[in-house]
């Protein structure tokens, strides 16, 4: 009797332990992000974040005096209302390496602002924000290669299409684009092989010295982007970028600029795969006028599509341009009107809606012209980014420059 009682007690104890164990696994205690060995000095904000999570203090203004690099396994979190001021030209920028993450948690009432720290602010006062991911690029056809970023000198590219480099919401990047030389300079936001697990929503690029944003391959999706007064292109992509995008507003200004959009597949391999193939729904591009009387407008194209890119564009307002769609190269033109087309467009003060140029054939100095009018699938009363050429309602409160 005693042995049987002990045996039964043991069985009940074991069962209770198993039940407790299962209950604990089903309801895990939320984990606390690991602390980092990096200490953020607001008056001298620079250095490498190698581990854990660094969270900035929104009550402080951070003087970006050099490079901040977020390395593999580390996270930089920037709360709503934080201001970061760059003062070091090309040495002053924020870079996120493969495996690192940046979380920008702005709000419409309190956006995060990355800007110039100089008393008189100009385009190119500091570098910009650079993010490097593991998603496919096409510098080597097939999409399995990697490369070194042209700024920050970090590895990017790979085979992880859904790679996650963090989350960016309500961010304004101003006066970026510091130049190393005439051929190499920062954009406001440079996305190198960034994957679709990364969130980019409600971001403005204002008065930068190069492009507002440029995609170098990758699969990242975006929404609610504003690019105003950047001195090259407002939006740019290359190296096989493919993403789904909604609500883009671009506008030239400050007497300089090239295009609303410059789009390539890859400049050294027009047919390299994966082929650049984004979709953009709800797009407004405002230029300097079809025949501007002042300023340095180098090309005055709403959209320059070349070097083998695809793209589907829906609900567009193109206003104030010499050329609406400037399509170059046989490989690009071959995608019209199925894989390269624009649906529901409103042209306002656009001198030439479409212009096409075939590949250059030596010894000719330029290619023959081509009819690319088929890129325009339909015209209508488009609303563009939401309010035609005017500020969209979703831009209220956190953006500048309209």
Asked if residue 250 lies in contact with residue 235, where contact means CB atoms within 8 angstroms, the answer is: yes
> What secondary structure letter does DSSP report for 184?
E
Report, in angstroms and rounded to the nearest whole number, the Rg of the chain calculated over CA atoms: 25
Residue with tokens 């960034």: 194
Query: Residue 28 pLDDT more than 60?
Result: no
| Bigger pLDDT: 366 vs 47 | 47
Beta bridge partners of 285: 250, 318
CA atoms within 13 A on the CB side of 139: 16
Asked if residue 247 lies in contact with residue 392, where contact means CB atoms within 8 angstroms, the answer is: yes
- Share above pLDDT 70 across residues of the chain, in percent, rounded to a whole number: 91
Query: Residue 155 pLDDT more than 90?
Result: yes
pLDDT tens, 134-154? 999 999 999 999 999 999 999
Does residue 137 have a cis peptide bond before it, meaning omega lies within 30 degrees of 0? no
- In this prediction, residue 12 carries a pLDDT of 33
Nearest to 246 by CA among 392, 135, 401: 392
Can you list the alpha helix ranges (DSSP code H) found in 224-338? Answer: 330-333
Asked if residue 220 lies in contact with residue 135, where contact means CB atoms within 8 angstroms, the answer is: yes
- In this prediction, residue 238 carries a pLDDT of 98
- In this prediction, residue 360 carries a pLDDT of 84
For 326-336, what is the mean pLDDT? 98
At residue 321, what are phi and psi to the nearest 5 degrees? -135, 150
β-pairing verdict for 340-357 and 155-156: unpaired
User: What's the pTM?
Assistant: 0.91
Length of the chain: 402
Q: Report how far residue 189's alpha carbon sits from residue 192's, in angstroms, rounded to the nearest whole number.
A: 10
| Bigger pLDDT: 391 vs 257 | 391
Query: Residue 87 pLDDT more than 50?
Result: yes
- In this prediction, residue 26 carries a pLDDT of 52
At residue 242, what are phi and psi to the nearest 5 degrees? -140, 110
What are the C-alpha distances in Å from 289 to residues 219, 293, 299?
33, 9, 12
Query: Residue 8 pLDDT more than 90?
Result: no
Residue with tokens 């969270």: 55
Beta bridge partners of 249: 226, 284
Nearest-5° Cα angle at 284, 281 to 290:
140
> What secondary structure letter does DSSP report for 382?
-
pLDDT tens, 36-82? 999 999 999 999 999 999 999 999 999 999 999 999 999 999 999 99
Query: Residue 165 pLDDT more than 60?
Result: yes
CB neighbours of residue 222 within 10 Å: 26
Residue 47: left if φ>0, alpha if ψ -120 to 50, beta else—which one?
A: left
E strand intervals along 229-307: 233-238, 244-251, 256-263, 279-286, 296-305
Q: Which value, to the nearest 10 degrees, does the dihedral of the CA atoms of residues 268, 270, 273, 276 take?
A: 110
pLDDT tens, 166-212? 999 999 999 999 999 878 999 999 999 999 999 999 999 999 999 99
Lowest mean pLDDT among 96-110, 150-164, 355-369: 355-369
- In this prediction, residue 124 carries a pLDDT of 97
- In this prediction, residue 363 carries a pLDDT of 72
Nearest to 314 by CA among 337, 263, 280, 276: 280
Can you list the alpha helix ranges (DSSP code H) found in 119-256? Answer: none
Q: Report how far residue 90's alpha carbon sits from residue 97's, in angstroms, rounded to the nearest whole number.
A: 18
- In this prediction, residue 239 carries a pLDDT of 98
Asked if residue 112 lies in contact with residue 170, where contact means CB atoms within 8 angstroms, the answer is: yes
Beta bridge partners of 83: 61, 113
Query: Residue 358 pLDDT more than 80?
Result: yes
């Amino acid at each position: 009797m005693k042995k049987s009682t002990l045996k039964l007690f043991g069985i009940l104890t074991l069962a209770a332990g198993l039940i407790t164990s299962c209950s604990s696994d089903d309801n895990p205690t939320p984990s606390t992000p690991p602390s980092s060995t990096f200490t953020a000095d607001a008056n001298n904000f620079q250095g490498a974040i190698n581990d854990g999570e660094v969270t900035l203090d929104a009550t402080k203004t951070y003087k970006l005096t050099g490079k901040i690099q977020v390395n593999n396994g580390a996270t930089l979190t920037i709360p709503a209302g934080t201001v970061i001021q760059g003062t070091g030209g090309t040495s002053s920028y924020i870079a996120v390496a493969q495996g690192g993450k940046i979380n920008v948690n702005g709000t419409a009432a309190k956006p995060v602002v990355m800007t110039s720290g100089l008393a008189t602010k100009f385009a190119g006062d500091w570098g910009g924000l650079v993010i490097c991911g593991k998603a496919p690029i096409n510098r080597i056809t097939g999409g399995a290669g990697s490369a070194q970023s042209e700024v920050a000198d970090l590895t990017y590219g790979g085979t992880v299409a859904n790679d996650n480099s963090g989350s960016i919401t309500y961010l304004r990047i101003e006066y970026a684009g510091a130049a190393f030389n005439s051929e190499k300079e920062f954009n406001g936001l440079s996305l190198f092989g960034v994957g679709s697990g990364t969130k980019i929503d409600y971001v403005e690029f204002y008065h930068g010295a190069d492009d507002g944003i440029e995609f170098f391959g990758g699969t990242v999706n975006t929404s609610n982007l504003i690019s105003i007064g950047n001195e090259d292109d407002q939006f740019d992509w290359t190296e096989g970028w493919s993403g789904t995008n909604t609500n883009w507003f671009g506008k030239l200004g400050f007497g300089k600029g090239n295009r609303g959009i410059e789009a390539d597949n890859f400049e050294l391999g027009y047919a390299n795969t994966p082929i650049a193939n984004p979709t953009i729904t709800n797009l407004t591009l405002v230029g300097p006028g079809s025949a501007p009387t002042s300023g340095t407008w180098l090309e005055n194209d709403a959209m320059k599509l070349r070097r083998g890119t695809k793209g589907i564009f829906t609900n567009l307002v193109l206003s104030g341009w010499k050329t609406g769609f400037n399509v170059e190269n046989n490989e690009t033109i071959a995608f019209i009107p199925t894989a390269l087309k624009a649906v529901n467009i409103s042209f306002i003060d656009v001198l030439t809606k479409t212009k096409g140029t075939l590949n250059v054939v030596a010894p000719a100095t330029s290619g023959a012209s081509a009819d690319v009018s088929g890129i325009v699938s339909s015209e209508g009363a488009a609303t563009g980014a939401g309010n035609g050429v005017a500020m969209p309602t979703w831009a209220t409160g956190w953006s500048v420059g309209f």
